[in-house]
């Protein structure tokens, strides 16, 4: 073998597709892998689908009786809120997944491949988006089964979903940052919950902000999750949206403008 000076193996021919098309392909490859993981890890599936259904049932039948909303039935107030809460809780999966990939050395392998650099994070956030679409459909169906009657019409219902998906997508980047910064997946999970609890529970998701103590109201009223919940609820129920739609979009774009570069910078340093 010492006489062999050049490799006799020939490299597999790579296609001449443009780099942009390959970048899209890389993102989809990564997104597909993440979605397969959700389907195959029982706890991930429970976390994604079963837990939100439990929340619907819990608030509809256990707590719902004592929660008074200004107008209409509590179930109509609740379901849009649960939808928003679910998409935010789901983003924790991004933090856990990325921390695991880092821990297991998969990110290291990806970094030695000629794939698009941004595909790891973009694939993660895109798979979150797909998962959120599925969850929106499931919760809508379950919601209608327990008495949810959105009167806003289909176009507005979809508009509400889109506002929610946009916000959730932007939030995902923040959790991607947490996942990359955490030393392991357990820590990623532990860091995530103290972040999502105040923003989801001290918000207009489950109860009207007006029912909260005075010191909490300014935070609960102005924080982005409440704005999004208000916008989504108004669109779905056909009530006046005020400026909540625009505020939600501004918050979302602002979040991604900050969190996107933060996560990307962290990704460059990680692994």
88 φ/ψ angles, rounded to the nearest 5 degrees: -75, -45
For residues 160 and 76, the answer to whether their CB atoms sit within 8 Å is: no
The yes or no reply on residue 96 touching another protein (CB under 8 A) is no
Stretch that binds another protein, among 7-15, 47-55, 58-66, 82-90 (CB under 8 A): 7-15
The yes or no reply on residue 10 touching another protein (CB under 8 A) is yes
Q: Nearer to another protein by C-beta: 37 or 67? A: 37
- 3-state per-residue secondary structure call for 5-25: CCCCCCCCCCCCCCHHHHHHH
DSSP letter (8 states) at residue 14: P
The distance of closest approach from Cβ of residue 88 to another protein in the complex, given in angstroms and rounded to an integer, is: 24
**How far apart are alpha carbons 229 and 20 in whole angstroms?**
36
97: Cβ–Cβ under 8 A, 6 or more apart, which residues? Answer: 34, 37, 124, 179, 185
Total residues interacting with another protein, rule: CB under 8 A? 41
For residues 130 and 36, the answer to whether their CB atoms sit within 8 Å is: no
The yes or no reply on residue 36 touching another protein (CB under 8 A) is yes
Q: Which of residues 167-186 bind another protein (CB under 8 A)?
A: 183
Q: Which of 49, 54, 91, 114 binds another protein (CB under 8 A)?
A: 114
- Tokens 């073998």 locate to 1
Q: Nearer to another protein by C-beta: 18 or 215? A: 18
The yes or no reply on residue 11 touching another protein (CB under 8 A) is yes
The distance of closest approach from Cβ of residue 35 to another protein in the complex, given in angstroms and rounded to an integer, is: 10
The yes or no reply on residue 121 touching another protein (CB under 8 A) is no
The yes or no reply on residue 108 touching another protein (CB under 8 A) is yes
Length of the chain in terms of residues written: 271
Stretch that binds another protein, among 30-38, 57-65, 80-88, 220-228 (CB under 8 A): 30-38
Tokens at 102, concatenated: 């880092």
Number of Cβ within 10 Å of residue 46's Cβ equals: 11
Q: Within 13 Å, how many C-alpha atoms sit on residue 255's CB side?
A: 22
First-to-final CA distance of the chain: 37
Q: Which of 24, 45, 106, 158 binds another protein (CB under 8 A)?
A: 106
The yes or no reply on residue 243 touching another protein (CB under 8 A) is no
Q: Binding marks (x or -) toward another protein, 55..74, rule CB under 8 A?
A: --------------------
Positions that interact with another protein (CB under 8 A): 1-2, 4-15, 17, 22, 25-26, 29-30, 33, 36-37, 40-41, 103-106, 108-115, 119, 183, 269, 271
């Amino acid at each position: 073998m010492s006489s062999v000076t050049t490799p006799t193996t020939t490299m597999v021919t790579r296609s001449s597709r443009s780099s942009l098309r390959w970048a899209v392909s890389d993102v989809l490859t990564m997104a597909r892998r993440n979605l397969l993981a959700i389907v195959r890890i029982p706890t991930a599936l429970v976390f994604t689908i079963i837990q939100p259904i439990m929340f619907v049932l819990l608030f509809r039948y256990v707590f719902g009786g004592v929660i008074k909303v200004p107008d209409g039935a509590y179930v109509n107030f609740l379901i849009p809120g649960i939808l928003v809460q679910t998409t935010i809780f789901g983003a924790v999966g991004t933090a856990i997944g990325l921390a695991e990939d880092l821990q297991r050395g998969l990110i290291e392998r990806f970094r030695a491949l000629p794939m698009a650099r941004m595909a790891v994070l973009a694939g993660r956030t895109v798979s979150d988006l797909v998962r959120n679409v599925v969850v929106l459909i499931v919760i809508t169906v379950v919601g209608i089964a327990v008495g949810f009657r959105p009167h806003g019409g289909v176009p507005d219902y979809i508009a509400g979903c889109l506002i929610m998906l946009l916000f959730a997508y932007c939030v995902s980047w923040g959790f991607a940052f947490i996942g990359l910064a955490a030393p392991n997946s357990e820590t990623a999970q532990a860091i995530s919950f103290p972040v999502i609890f105040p923003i989801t529970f001290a918000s207009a998701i489950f109860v009207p902000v007006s029912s909260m103590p005075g010191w909490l109201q300014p935070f609960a009223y102005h924080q982005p999750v409440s704005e999004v919940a208000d916008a989504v609820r108004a669109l779905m129920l056909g009530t006046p949206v005020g400026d909540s739609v625009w505020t939600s979009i501004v918050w979302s774009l602002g979040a991604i403008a900050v969190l996107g570069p933060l996560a990307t910078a962290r990704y460059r340093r990680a692994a």
